[in-house]
Every structure is written in C-alpha cells, then in structure tokens.
Structure 1
Amino acid sequence: MNVYGKPVLWSLGFAFLAAIMFASGGLKAGAEGLILHIPFSEGPGASVFSDTSGHGHSARCGTSIPCPEARMDHGFFRLSDSHWEWLEVAHSEELNPGTEFTMAVWIRPGNAIWENGQPVRIGGGKIMGKTNALFDGGFVLGTDVKSQENLTYQLYPEIWDSRGRNHVFRAGEFRFGEWTHLAVTWKSGGHMIGYVNGKEVHRIKASALPVGRNTNPFRIGIAPWDTNALAFGGGIDDIRLYREELSANEVAALLQLGRNSDAQIEIPPNPEPDSTDLETIESPGPTPENSTP
C-alpha cells in the first residue's frame, strides 16, 4: 500500500524565482554557507546517504545502527515498540555552529498508534541534532504534539549556548502525515527564529554567546544524546545546515524549491493508513528541557 498516495503537483512562479536566487547567490548555497545537504536520493538498501554540499558530511548506518529505508526521494524511518532507525554523521568541528547557523528539513511525521485503520494517538520525536547528555552545548530540532484530537504537531527546537543555557520554544502547527518544511535560524546577539512551511511562527532572543561545542555525532531520526530515546517515525528529506542565518526570504525560497530542489512542489493528500509503516508513538526517554546535567 502506498501510504503517500498520488502526489498533486503544484507549479509555482515562486519556484522559478527561488531557483534564480540560488543561481545568483541570493541563497547562501556555497562553501561559506551550506555545509551539509543530505537529499536522500539513494536507492533501496543504501547504508550511506551522501552529503552533496561538498563538505564530506555523509550520513551512515549499518552494523549497530539500523538503517532507514531509502526511497530514492526521501528516507523512511520505521518505528515500533521494539525497533527504531537513525543515521549518524561523524563529528566535525565544522558542524559546531559558532555564532550563527540555519537548520532546515522536510518531514512527514508518522509516529502513531493505529486502531481500526485510523491513527488514534500521535507522538513527537527528534529529527536531527548534535548535543550530548550534559546538554552543555549544541542543538536539536524536534516535533511535539499540539493536539491529539486534530492530529497536529508543533515545531520544537532547542539550542544551548557555550555556557549551557537552553534556548527553546514550541510554536506553529502542522499535520500528521503531511510533508512539512521546518527551519530554525540562530544568530548570537540576535534572535532564534522558527519557520513552518516558509512562515515565521516564533522568535526569541538569542544568547550573545556562541552555540556551545560538543563532540557527539550529528544524528538524524533519534535523540542526538541517546540512541534509545525519542525516535522519529516517518519521512525525512532534504536536510540542510548552513553556517549562516538565512533571512525570511531565503527560508521561503527553500520552501518554494520543494523537496530535493524540485521545481514542482508536492502537496500530498492525507495518507492512507499502513500499520506496517506506522505502528506506534515515540520510544521513551528524557527530554533535555527537563533534564539536569
């Protein structure tokens, strides 16, 4: 069963304009801006997901790391009570953001308990991040449930400065089973800003200090500090890290480019239930906001 349904293609003039922005340097896609880009273009059986930014930060799985399913245009992260999947990018100082950065991704959240062919309870999870169990530096991008009744989520990012101070918010709204673009920007001395589908949903003051360093891997689909906690179930695509604070227009341009920089944007219908793909809510584990070093 195809849980994604038949995509509806939405052609937009904005997509053409976004492509022009990339070509003209309007979006910081060069070596000084984009430092990690994982488009998930690999075929079935892949255990390496290439970083196309040119910086060599490919994501890997296998051996002790269960691999997500490579579906040519995204990675599908299966989740059940006894099984979860994730990817790891080896530590690099380049992945410690410093004073400004942007993280962006497309997701299709699928953490759910199903009854009679319908999702009856959803759960959040961690999409990507780089921090440790002390929570004394780094970042994580996750989702949190906004409404069980309406099956909706909210953006849930956390960033720790070099003194370990946590900067966190929950904001925005997006639905279970729908492709959604998320982005968070940070500039020390400025703001931490969250975007859902190209629109700003919240901002808070950022620390004057840089983002704290750590030597953990950059992890995808799991809590970066604990590979037994807060797994993500569903689709992940087009992960990007910039060592720049992208502007609101640049974030909107990323949305208009679509997944994998496709000039046509897929707007899928609500998914059909498939209990073999989407079985249960996130695995248990502590949240850093409520943990103490």
Structure 2
Amino acid sequence: MEHQEKAPEGNLTKLMEFVLLDFADVPHLQKFLFGLFLLIYIIILMGNGIIVLITKLDPALQTPMYFFLGNLSLLEIRYVSVTLPRMLTSLGTQRRTISLVACATQMCFIITLGATECFLLAVMACDRYAAICSPLRYPLVMNPKVCVQLAAGSWISGIPIQIGQTCQIFSLPFCGSNLINHFFCDTPPILKLACGDTFLTELLVFTVAALFVLVPFLLILVSYGKIISTILKLPSATSRGKALSTCSSHLMVVALFFGSAIVTYLRPKTQGSAGTDTVRSLFYTIVTPVFNPMMHSLRNKEVMTALRKWPGRHLSSWKK
C-alpha cells in the first residue's frame, strides 16, 4: 500500500452530504434499471425468505447445515435491504443526495453484515468438515448449543470493530467533490473524497479487511482441503458424489462472495476504476443473494423435497 497524502483543499466548506452517482451516466436506462432492480429485490426477498421459513419449520431440515443456511439467507435479506431500496429510490426519483450520517450508517451496516457473511461461510465450511471427516463425532461436535454459539458469534463479533472503523473513516475531513461514483456508500470511494493524510485510515481498512476476509477464507480453504482428501479416500463413486453434492452449493457461494470482496478491498489502490469497482460490488451485494437460494435448493434434494411438501402441508393445516 502506497502512502499518498492528499493535499488539503483551501477555503472549502466541510461536506455535509454526498451524491451517489450510481447509474447517472445512463439516463435513458433509468426506468429499465428501476424495473430490473425492483424485480431482483423481490426475487431475493422471496427466495431467501422461503429458505428461512422451510429451514425453520420443516422437521427434515432441523440439522446444523440447514440451520446455518437459514442464517445465511436471513443475512442476505438484510444485506441487500441496506443497498437496494436506497438505489431504487434514487432511480425512481432522481434524487441522489445522501446525508453524511445516512452514508456512515449505510457503510457501517454494509461492512458489519459483510463480516458476518465471511464468518458464516467459514462456519458452514467447518460444519461440512465435521460432517464428512468425523461423521461419528459430528452430532456431538455440532450440537444445538454449539450451532447457536457459532451463529451468534458470526453475527456479533464484527460489530465493535466495524463501528470503530466507520467512526475513524468519517472523522476524516471531507471537502471538495461530494460525488460518489458508486451505488452505495462503500469504503474505497468514500476514502477517495477525504482530504489530508489518509494513510493510517487506509492501513486500518486494509488490516480489518485482511482480518475479516482473508482469515475466514483461509479457514475455508483448509477445511475443503481436508474434505477433498477425505472424499477421495471413500470406496465408492456414489459415496464420493453424495459427499461432494453437499459442498458444491456452498463452494459456489464462497467463490462469488470472496472472489469479488478480495479483489475490491485487498487489491492495490492504484489498480481498477470506479466502474469496475461497482461491477465487483454488484457481485457480493446483489448477485450472491440472488443465486444463494437457487444454488442451495436446485442442487439439494432435501430442500427440493421440503419445497414440494411445504405448501400442501401448511395449506392443509390451515384448513383444519
């Protein structure tokens, strides 16, 4: 990371609001984009909402794997609700301003929920490791109390650090341009607008990103290294295929989320442009929540069975 001190701007009023440009450079597509993202938001809410319900209510899905899947789907709903409604409002009304406080609040939620997703995906990898590599000890290791503790830890462990990071970023002086070339208040574009020496803040952001992104990602790699080693030793192709099928959906989500997050937050500052940053952010904020329920349902026989049985079962119970 290069130490670049930004020259303070003279005789400029301290900024009290920003302008999120998002897709302002394509004014002829505003209505189309509004309809597209509204449809995507509805799909995310319905798809992940159904996963949350069936993993909570279906007796066949009361296992650690589906408990964590339900938590992940609930997280995706909250994650996308921090960004998409604000973007839809901007596309619908063409009012792109956002106050300093609202911007800081949005950023805090985004990075906190992002940290939670990193931890949850790592916990899900450890769950698959315990199930495949130590099947006899699995019920003891991943008992309900441990599952609740792991899920709670994933949700709350990043909150203090991410609040502190947000306060540190927004304690910087902002002057000059107030245009954010993004569709939400993300860390990299906000730091570009800060005046004076931002080296220590950028170092803090990089360190926190390495802690909350790289450490869970390395844990996932280690877990799947041991999982693959164990699967290759299984005697039959059927056993190997069944074991791999329980991991494939999770691996796809990991690749989508961590791939875009690592490139966005841990690449050298001089690389990339605002446009490519926006595209990468779309992957971990919107694309992953869209495909998460699809990948975990279409590729999972137990979830598909629960989806087929669930409407009929609950309709009959309501009639009674």
Give TM-score, length-normalised by structure 1: 0.26
**Higher relative helix content:** 2
Query: Who wins on radius of gyration, i.e. which is larger?
Result: 2
Give TM-score, length-normalised by structure 2: 0.24
